[in-house]
Structure 1
Amino acid sequence: MTVVEQLHLEKNLKQVEVQHFGEHLTIDGYLGDHDKLNDKSLVLHALNTLPELLGMKKLTTAEVHFAKGNDIKDPGGWSGFVVIEESHISIHTFPGTRFISVDVYTCRNGLDKPYILDFFKNTFDIEEFETNFIQRGKRYPGLQAAAR
């Protein structure tokens, strides 16, 4: 692990005040590199690397499968998933349209969104992004307090 990655990990592991149960970042990436989006081993590498970089623990081995396209809108590509102790990460690539769809869901608070975007930008040479960020379980801290 590089010094930069170690500093990021230490920052990410700092305790963040619990204001909600978890965080869900969805990423739609456009104009990615066709060959990288069509590389099963690169998708697998991303699923195996990102949890460690975010200080998360994998509960399963990452899986990646080819999904053939259909005649409607899906040109086919690679779909991968890894279950982490903190929830899951999924990646779906569509090399024919140079598109990628990613979900990073964690029960932690304080997800480093710019870091995750840079990770996917650099891994798949994504040029443009649309993102959505959802705070999950906003009433959860009240449930914790009531359970005590």
Structure 2
Amino acid sequence: MIFHHTQSIMGKHAIIDLSGCDSDIMRDRESILERLKQAAQIAKVTVVGHFEHYFSPEGYSAVLVLEESHLSIHTWPEYRYISLDLYSCNLETDFDAVEQFLAQEFKATTVESQLLKRKFSPTPVSAPVSLVQRLMGRRC
């Protein structure tokens, strides 16, 4: 058996809260999805699909499924608040640029964020080292 005693970073996860946003922009659902797609381009991640949901009387959620993981947005126009998540296993993803872009686009007056390193401790494996190395070298 092979034991690895160190933790590996699988990705980074940004949790971003935007407050004091422009509620008129937040009610334009098509432009929200477009802004989210622009943020993905800025982050240099690859969008492979998306899902969106409209709430009544207002509010919107969308998730971009990324080759590298996901980017999600949840809006509350009545509170002028937006909650965002960006998780990417590409450690070169530019989280700061995404935060700045979306804060500017939604005219947020307050931005709070956290950047988490998503880690795991590999479990013992009985595979040859070369196979483990190949698996650990994959994109995500």
Size of the alignment, in residue pairs?
A: 120
Rounded Cα–Cα distance in structure 1 between residues aligned with 2:90 and 2:12: 7
Quote the RMSD (CA, aligned, Å): 2.1
SS of the residue corresponding to residue 47 of structure 2 reads coil
**How big is each residue's C-alpha offset from its partner over 1:30-88, in whole Å with a ceiling of 9 and x where there is no partner?**
0000101111012110222222222211111x33321237xxxxxx5110111010000
Runs of 4+ residues over 4 Å off in structure 1: none
**Corresponding position: 1:46 with 2:35:** yes
Question: Unaligned 5+ residue runs, structure 2?
Answer: 1-7, 134-140
SS of 1:137's partner is: strand
Whole-angstrom distance in 1 between the partners of 2:97 and 2:47: 19
Task: Name the counterpart of 2:136.
Answer: none
Cα distance between partner residues in 2 of 1:63 and 1:110: 25
**1:113 CA drift (Å):** 3.0
Identity %: 28
Q: Distance in 2 between matches of 1:54 and 1:111?
A: 5
Between Structure 1 and Structure 2, the one with more helix by share is 1
1:99 and 2:81 are equivalent in the alignment: yes
Residue 63 in structure 1 maps to residue 51 in structure 2:
yes
Structure 1 unmatched runs, 5+: 1-18, 70-75
Q: Flag the structure with more relative contact order, 1 or 2, with Cα contacts below 8 A and sequence separation at least 6.
A: 2
Is the contact between residue 45 and residue 93 of structure 2 (CA under 8 Å) also seen in structure 1? no
TM-score by structure 2 length?
Answer: 0.76
Alignment-derived partner of residue 61 in structure 2: 79
Give the strand-richer structure, 1 or 2: 2
Look up the equivalent residue of 2:103 and give its one-letter code. Answer: K
Q: 1:28 to 1:134 in 2, by over 3 A?
A: same
Aligned to 1:113: 95
User: Does the 8 Å CA contact 2:11/2:89 hold for their aligned counterparts?
Assistant: yes
